[in-house]
Structure 1
């Protein structure tokens, strides 16, 4: 990405697959399936990817999801 001139932002991956992207509740996935009390459910890797995609970056430093 850097070679192509695309800005790269580094995101702290801590808890990204345990935090619900809908309500921000932290839950551990059962096997590979993530299920939250708010009704959101999907594969835990997808939860991690969603949280990394939308993680805030403040002053060049990522904030935990």
Structure 2
């Protein structure tokens, strides 16, 4: 049996996940309302904020 090393750079961060989800959801709302650029940008910023908060909280819990 071998022990796998966990490499932090191979894991996806909450920040990146928040950005992706915010961009997708913002783009969908923008398509519905017919102003995709504004809503995709807003979704990106909101996703970044939420992801960064979750990421910092996750790092605090790990230490």
Q: TM-score under structure 1 normalisation?
A: 0.33
Higher strand share: 1
Q: TM-score under structure 2 normalisation?
A: 0.33
